[in-house]
Amino acid sequence: MNFVAVEYHGVTPIGPEMFPCVLLRWAQRDRVLPLWVAATAADELDIRDNGMPPRRPNAYDLLAESYAGRGGVTEIRIVSHHQGVFYANIMLDGGEEVDARASDAIVLARIIGAPIVVAEDVLTEASLFVAPADLASYFDVVIDSPAVGEQVPGDEQADADFEELMRSLGVSEDDLRGES
């Protein structure tokens, strides 16, 4: 299974019901994976994101300390989804996997600074394209975009595959430029 690193962009209320949603961005494809979470997880993330940890350790803090005592967490993996429910694994230093709710795993990742990765097939099926301008206007998420005219690196193999497909259809670059 291939995993892709994603960027955490906070919790935001979405829809007329204003349900809390964690936004995870697949930067290479300008896609966002929305994960609706319970209010308790949303509150915990919001408090932590605003730099206000609880005065006393809570269950998430105890879990983080417990895993630190076992060698630490290497990453959080979102491994699958079914009917809007996402499943995660907490990956421990010794290679052990611990099954977890995605919302709890994300809170843990935010507390200890662990990277969040998502199975590529989950991203392909459940994420949606959101232009950087829309991220900014709807979710207050500002993404650094390449300057106008700046080359954006692409997937060379995908470009070669597309070029071969176009050639097999009888279309060349000269045709597209109007030079034929």
Q: Which domains does the chain have, with CATH numbers?
A: 3-139 (3.10.690.10)
pTM higher than 0.85 for the full model?
A: no
The reported pLDDT for the residue numbered 144 is 73
Tokens read off for 51: 């730099």
Residue 63 has a pLDDT of 93
- List, for residues 35-81, the tens digit of each pLDDT value: 999 999 999 999 999 998 888 999 999 999 999 888 899 999 999 99
Confirm if 118 and 24 have CB atoms less than 8 A apart: yes
Q: What is the mean pLDDT of residues 3-13?
A: 95
Q: How confident is the model at residue 94 (pLDDT cuts 50, 70, 90)?
A: confident
